[in-house]
Amino acid sequence: MHIILYIMLLTQGSSYITNNLTVNKKLINLVDVLLLMALKRRGILSYFTFKRVAEGYAKYRPYYHPIVMQRIKKQLETKAKFQNALDVGCGTGLSSKALLEVAKNVTGIDGSAEMIDVAKKEDKDDIKYLQSKAEELNFNNNTFDIITLCGSINWIDRTLFLPEAYRVLKNLGWLIIYDNFITDRMTGNARYTDWYNKEYLTRFPKPPRNEDPFTKEESSKYGFELMCSDTYSNQFNLSFNEYIEFMLTQSNVIVATDMGTENIETARAWMKSTLKPILNEKVNAFEFDGYILYLQK
């Protein structure tokens, strides 16, 4: 029984608990955080170490990152580029490429060798890519003027990462945490919202992640000051097939297929059959939400 419960928690996290027990939201997230930290510290959890996923990231993930860089430039009122920047959890390099907008020299790190391999193959900008854990930054003290994390903070053990970020960041340097994520909304398409919540999330529940909001107290505990934050929404147009391939790179699906028992072709066929009456074959306007946190050392 304990083994079965462990497997269900590994693949579904709090989703398994919420489907089987009555608990409050704080307890739900606490379970996810503790499980994520425990598994990461034992080196047995990574949703992004699959070649299929890395190739899908490079090909189908929306390139929203330049939009974020423009917001960062405006907020920081930067006239000259930062000298050295570190992109933590760089994936296949989309966020690192965009970071060149505000920095002269960019280093991208990711714990997944598969992601780094694809990033190096896609690189045309002389970005330095290294396989490295966010919790163990192999750089000298006071190396970087700015550190960014794009969509990766939820998968990182903050208690280990933040001291490392403080160490390698220069005095008055910036730690920028941001994301731009798919929602359950489409312009003028309520059927999509129903599909996303009632069908997609039922078949592919969210796996464990740390979704605790950053606070001024947590920031100051590790030597940072949370200067300000920014939230926004935007739209991306994706074709029927582009959307499906994008969704097949979500952690929800990775857990069920690459780490579970469901075949990726079965998942793809299910999405096609259930979405065919809902989405347009050529162009669909999907709504994304985003946030940016500005922490300074």
297 residues of the chain, pLDDT tens digit each: 334 344 444 544 444 444 444 444 444 444 444 444 444 444 445 778 899 999 999 999 999 999 999 999 999 998 899 999 999 999 999 999 999 999 999 999 999 999 999 999 999 888 999 999 999 999 999 999 999 999 999 999 999 999 999 999 999 999 999 999 999 999 889 999 999 999 999 999 998 888 898 999 999 999 999 999 999 999 999 999 999 999 999 999 999 998 888 999 999 999 999 999 999 999 999 999 999 999 999
Q: Give CA 50 to chain center in angstroms.
A: 15
Residue 117 falls inside a structural domain: yes
Return the pLDDT at 45: 54
Q: Give CA 239 to chain center in angstroms.
A: 22
Distance of alpha carbon 191 from alpha carbon 220, whole angstroms: 44
Residue 154 falls inside a structural domain: yes
Contact, 102 vs 72, CB < 8 A?
yes
Residue 13 falls inside a structural domain: yes
Domain around 77: 48-191+212-237+289-296
Q: Return the CATH number at 187.
A: 3.40.50.150
Domain boundary among 11, 30, 45: 45
Residue 203 falls inside a structural domain: no
Q: Are residues 52 and 29 part of one domain?
A: no
Return the pLDDT at 184: 98
Residue 284 falls inside a structural domain: no
Distance of alpha carbon 194 from alpha carbon 189, whole angstroms: 9
Residue 108 falls inside a structural domain: yes
As a residue count, the chain comes to: 297
Residue 254 falls inside a structural domain: no
Q: Are residues 221 and 99 part of one domain?
A: yes
Q: Are residues 135 and 218 part of one domain?
A: yes
Q: Are residues 88 and 180 part of one domain?
A: yes
Return the pLDDT at 79: 85
Neighbours of 263 (CB within 10 A): 11
Q: Are residues 104 and 88 part of one domain?
A: yes
Q: Are residues 139 and 19 part of one domain?
A: no
Domain boundary among 28, 45, 62: 45
Query: Which residues touch 246 (CB under 8 Å, ≥6 apart)?
Result: 56, 60, 61, 62, 182, 238
Taking each helix axis from N to C end, the angle separating 240-247 and 51-60, rounded to the nearest 10 degrees, works out to 140
Residue 57 falls inside a structural domain: yes
User: Total structural domains in the chain?
Assistant: 2
Q: Are residues 217 and 177 part of one domain?
A: yes
Q: Are residues 29 and 72 part of one domain?
A: no
Contact, 97 vs 87, CB < 8 A?
no
Tell me how far CA of residue 184 lies from CA of 189, 190, 200, 272, 285, in angstroms. Answer: 10, 9, 10, 17, 12
- pTM equals 0.85
Contact, 195 vs 278, CB < 8 A?
yes
Q: Are residues 66 and 97 part of one domain?
A: yes
Distance of alpha carbon 151 from alpha carbon 91, whole angstroms: 10
Return the pLDDT at 209: 85
Q: Are residues 7 and 117 part of one domain?
A: no
Nearest to 18 by CA among 205, 219, 270: 205
Q: Are residues 222 and 85 part of one domain?
A: yes
Return the pLDDT at 44: 41
Q: Are residues 160 and 144 part of one domain?
A: yes
Tell me the two tokens of residue 160.
């280990």
